[in-house]
Structure 1
């Protein structure tokens, strides 16, 4: 028998805790990424440290948390009770060590399994923990989870609490950078869910008085609300909801024990069901569920004892029970909404009338669309059998049990040559390609009818699987991959208009990106450098010295599949498309995509930049 087929004791590997985390980081923090997406690993590291501080606040210890991010170094300081000094090293470096196994101390905590800070420690090139309590302090430093310095316990006059500093390991997180927008969104969620808590980030204060009501006010322009936000609070539940005047689809923010469950779960399913039942009972009419929920913007937060999540990154709740002697999650939410929303509507006649009008309008629109929707579905069904537009991948966002589901990506490309390069070089497990034919339609001012009438938009909607609800979205990242020329920019604008008009929550929830592709290739016989700007090109020329060969890429189709692998693999560069809540979506679309207004002409003239390509003779 050959050696390769032997199976002996030598084949069995037992990894220690840090080796296991470093070898399989995805099991602990989801995807790695580079910081261009809100669920990339570097933000999960920050969140794991923050969750411990939040749990201290929930226990009544420490009302302020201070965070500093300077370059790649993160520091988080709370004013809680401080880690017991004799356990400072163990708590951050021994698996299954923590204070949250004792349910009396942390009944409704998020970080229950004692893995969080150990993962941060193992995945950091530098990690320092310092605890202050009872006029003494104790600190320790680590590299990649290995203890390098253990400082002796000493007397200290510093305020009690814990400070953790770390630098994510750049051998694991490649070319990463923290984006303040994502950090701020995470911190805002923490303060919405913990009124009375102050978080100071790089000197800026975050604080909320009105909880989830503030969340809706901060994520959507007030002019877009159909009626004032309905805000309901109970002992273990809080709900804020309204309907949008302009958007078509449903939009939800859901939380469990302070954790943002971006993929929903049992609590969100129960809330959507309870909303429909309560409204039907209130009006005494069997309205269609989709008409009731159309354009709803809502946030729900519940507290559950010992929650069960469907993954380590806790993005989807799996628990069916509230814990203790409380009823099931479904019954609890149904009872709460059934009583409190019904009471609110009885007391607020004007809101009740506006809501009913909205439902009836949705019903009319649905009936108008039903014929064309049926036709479109039949067309899409036929097309999908021979659909050359979508080259699908194997793993999708809806595969909650697959650790790589967060990596699922759909590239939207223009023309056959670009889609050909991406298709040949993509990762068939997690990367899909949707190919556009020429320029898409400008959908500004059009109704949802156009999505079904236009074959490309109908097939794109079907590929994303978002017709009924965002819960079924098949790809976590939707990436517009067009040439960096005028035509490519125009296509980007038309696609962003489509998503803003019909699926704005895709953008609000951080799913839409622009793919950055290199403008230049600079190489000599030994090295090749891809450059994304003039500045990078000049630096590459300087680095390679002599007279390197310089190629300017005019379009994606010019880049060979072998080269393309570099730009959509580990070193992918993505620019997130973000919404500024100060402007309503209507105003934004009118300005950029409406009739050629004097305002836009003035904007173009005052922002016009002429860039000349200077070729040295």
Structure 2
């Protein structure tokens, strides 16, 4: 039916800042609160730092200063500085920049002149100051509107640009920057720009050997099967080795952009490695045996790259440039020549690589029988899988809500019942555990197929053959905040780290925060996730409000539960720090060692609850201090 009042007044044009604020996802991907590595607040930071990196690439400024607090960002570079007469234009006019006609920037990421403008529009406070030839110009904005335009004055500061911004809390709800995510971003910048120094929150970051240093940092040096192979060419750099872990671990980059979802360059590299190794050993080894346990990094420079989204996490380009070869041919030719030459020159590496391939082949054949039986059982169970309440949209689709797809892993039927009744059936699924899962530390992957629960979970996630078909972007462990719940969390994290570490590395695994207290009076209800929040709520409501302390997820009504898994959901990401998976799991999940006993004794805390018994309607079992002290996430 036609719009009855469709006329000239129905048509309106948005200016640049209105459009960005109305459709922020078009420019920075998902919004989020900072609990995921690809949340918009990190994209904002990256857009600013990218400009400073471009100055370094141009030979101006070898140091970048970055300071990040919970909600404030400051970036200062020592490049050439924005031309003072164009400071306002460069941060507030779309399609304004200095890269369009420069050959030096043909292999840069940010060519469209949108990035800094998006940061400006999506910040409550945005300050840009340029220092150039002993003069400086400072302009302050709020949500893209100029609030202070200072005159050009003299300065003794070194040339460069300083930008400070506060992301808008009305767009990024309850956000805060997680230092581990920012630090990971900083390390990637220095690995990809050897010779660059970044000072982040007072700490210095620097790399001499590029992707070699990246792999040396991420790989378990004690368990790699051979020394890191480091190959450098024009517009391409590769580092690779094999470890002992399950799965494939890739770090891929295009023009300095971390392509977390891979793309044509990563697919070409995986294909080229298989082809080269088969030809070197003159045997058609299974591709999965060749790539099993690989740890690799690849960086390419592409002219006018095409990404599958504004956030540039997946390369879609088929060619290296308008007149260049295909990405596939370019990478295949480089790997074929350089890797083949390397293996011929280093027979010890070639022997170690062959042993790793043969080991993978034996392991694959060893579980082939049980794998087939387990998969047949899983297919039958999927038709009437009582453990899984699936959602309509999956992550491996093209749906707009694919990034919101979430699987809640719950303990028992009561908790899963509350979530099932209150979830968004479009993009939230529930998998119910029947009790405490098996401690799979030091077990082989055979147990994934022998254990029915693990096998059904693997099939629900669709990760048996890697992450390409992953059904859910967010895998959320949702257990009670008591001793049993903490134990189940650790057992589930052990399962993922032992057999599917790529899930954790890619930032897909989270812990659900649920409120410990409900504080209310007749007019208002406040849910509190810590004792500090409870105290503030009591202070706000005053006059002895009613306080309820939740014992477990099953006791929270479905109506209330819907409030905790909606737009205000609070998630703690499971972050894998520098320690190796093997050492981490051995310490926490291995045999009871004196070191672990001492750790528990040192961190044991007995606290007196300040809440009076007549205030509390449900007694606590335990708070989550124990898990926090483990420092796993």
Equivalent of 1:594 in 571, 582, 590: 590
Structure 1: unaligned runs, 5 residues or longer: none
| Per-residue deviation, 1:224 | 2.6
The CA distance in 2 between the partners of 1:603 and 1:132, in whole Å, is: 51
1:99 CA displacement: 1.8
Q: Distance in 2 between matches of 1:546 and 1:184?
A: 45
Kept after mapping to 2: 8 A contact 1:392/1:432: yes
Residue in structure 1 matched with residue 105 of structure 2 by the alignment: 106
Aligned to 1:340: 338
Aligned to 2:265: 267
- Superposition deviation, residue 471 in structure 1: 3.0
Change (3 A) 1:534 1:503: same
Q: Do the aligned partners of residues 607 and 71 (structure 1) sit closer, same or farther apart at CA in structure 2, a change above 3 Å counting?
A: closer
Q: Secondary structure at the match of 1:137?
A: strand
Contact 1:395 1:408 in 2 (8 A): yes
User: Residue 390 in 1 paired to residue 350 in 2?
Assistant: no
Q: Is the 1:422–1:561 contact (alpha carbons within 8 Å) kept by the matching residues of 2?
A: yes
- 1:212 CA displacement: 0.8
Matches within 5 A, 1:111-130: 111-130=110-129
Kept in 2: contact 1:393–1:430 (CA 8 A): yes
Q: Name 2:428's counterpart in structure 1.
A: 431
Matched residue SS, 2:103:
coil
Q: Give per-residue Cα distances to partners, 1:334-388, cap 9 Å, x unaligned.
A: 0000011111111111111111011111111111111221112211111111123
Match of 2:460 in 1: 463
Q: Which residue of 2 aligns with 1:57?
A: 56
Contact residue 16 and residue 93 of structure 2 kept, 8 A: yes
Contact 1:26 1:403 in 2 (8 A): no
Matched, 1:548 2:531: no
After superposition, the C-alpha distances for 1:117-172 in whole angstroms (9 at most, x for unaligned) are: 11100100000111122332222111101111111223333211111110111111
In structure 1, how many angstroms separate the alpha carbons of the residues matched to 2:486 and 2:557?
Answer: 22
Structure 2 CA distance for aligned equivalents of residues 511 and 569 of structure 1: 18
Distance (whole Å) between structure 2 residues aligned to residue 71 and residue 599 of structure 1: 34
Partner residue of 2:75?
76
Secondary structure of the structure 2 residue equivalent to 1:564: helix
Separation in structure 2 between the aligned mates of residue 330 and residue 94 of structure 1, nearest angstrom: 37
Residue-by-residue CA offset, 1:250-278 (whole Å, 9 max, x unaligned): 11010000000000000000000000000
After TM superposition, give the deviation of residue 403 of structure 1 in Å: 4.8
1:475 — aligned with what?
472
Tell me, yes or no, if structure 1 residue 520 matches structure 2 residue 520.
Answer: no
In structure 2, what is the Cα distance between the partners aligned to 1:241 and 1:158? Answer: 43
Structure 2 partner of 1:576: 573
CA contact (8 A) 2:220 2:243 kept: no
Deviations 1:418-438 (A, max 9, x none): 122222222333322222121
Superposed CA deviations along residues 510-564 of structure 1, whole A, max 9, x for unmatched, are: 2211111111101000111111122222222222111211111111111122211
Could you tell me how far 1:566 is from its partner in structure 2?
A: 2.1
Q: Is the 8 A contact 1:522 1:540 kept in 2?
A: yes
| Mapping 1:553-568, distance limit 5 Å | 553-568=550-565
CA distance in 2, matches of 1:534, 1:500: 31
Check whether the contact 1:228–1:242 (CA below 8 A) recurs between aligned residues. Answer: yes
Q: Classify the secondary structure of the residue corresponding to 2:576.
A: coil
Q: How does 1:146-225 map to 2 (within 5 A)?
A: 146-225=145-224
Q: What is the SS of the residue equivalent to 2:344?
A: helix
Shift, 1:397, TM fit? 3.2
Aligned pair count reads 613
Cα distance between partner residues in 1 of 2:426 and 2:112 = 30
Residue segments in structure 2 that go unaligned for 5+ positions in a row: 615-633
Change in Cα spacing, 1:514 to 1:71, as seen in structure 2 (3 Å) is closer
183-192 or 463-472: bigger deviation: 463-472
Matched, 1:306 2:304: yes
Structure 2 counterparts to residues 217-296 of structure 1, below 5 A: 217-245=216-244, 247-296=245-294
Equivalent residues of 1:99, 1:105 under 8 A apart: no
CA drift of 1:6 comes to: 4.0
> Which deviates the most, 432-441 or 19-28?
432-441
Cα distance in structure 1, aligned partners of 2:223 and 2:34: 30
Q: Which residue of 1 aligns with 2:84?
A: 85
Deviations 1:164-219 (A, max 9, x none): 11011111111111111111100100000000111111111111001111111112
Name the SS of the counterpart of 1:478 in structure 2. Answer: strand
Match of 1:607 in 2: 603
Q: Secondary structure at the match of 1:242?
A: strand
What do the CA deviations read for 1:43-69 (whole angstroms, capped 9, x no partner)?
Answer: 110001111111111111211111112
Q: Does the aligned pair in 2 maintain the 1:397–1:406 contact within 8 Å?
A: yes
How many Å apart are 1:445 and its aligned residue?
A: 1.7
Q: Pick one of 368, 372, 375 that aligns with 1:374.
A: 372
- The whole-number CA distance in structure 2 between the counterparts of 1:34 and 1:200 is 25
* d(CA) in 1 for partners of 2:308, 2:67: 31
Distance in 1, Cα, partners of 2:387 & 2:479: 15
The whole-number CA distance in structure 1 between the counterparts of 2:407 and 2:577 is 24
The answer to whether the 8 A contact 2:65-2:76 is kept is yes
Alignment of 1:487 onto 2:484: yes
**What CA deviation, in whole Å up to 9, does each residue of 1:33-92 have, x standing for no partner?**
111111111111000111111111111121111111234221111111222222211111
Q: Say if 2:352 is the partner of 1:354.
A: yes
1:12-27 to structure 2, matched below 5 A, reads: 12-27=11-26
Give the whole-Å Cα distance in 2 for the aligned partners of 1:402 and 1:122: 27
User: Is 265-274 or 202-211 further displaced after alignment?
Assistant: 202-211
**CA RMSD in angstroms, aligned pairs only:** 1.7
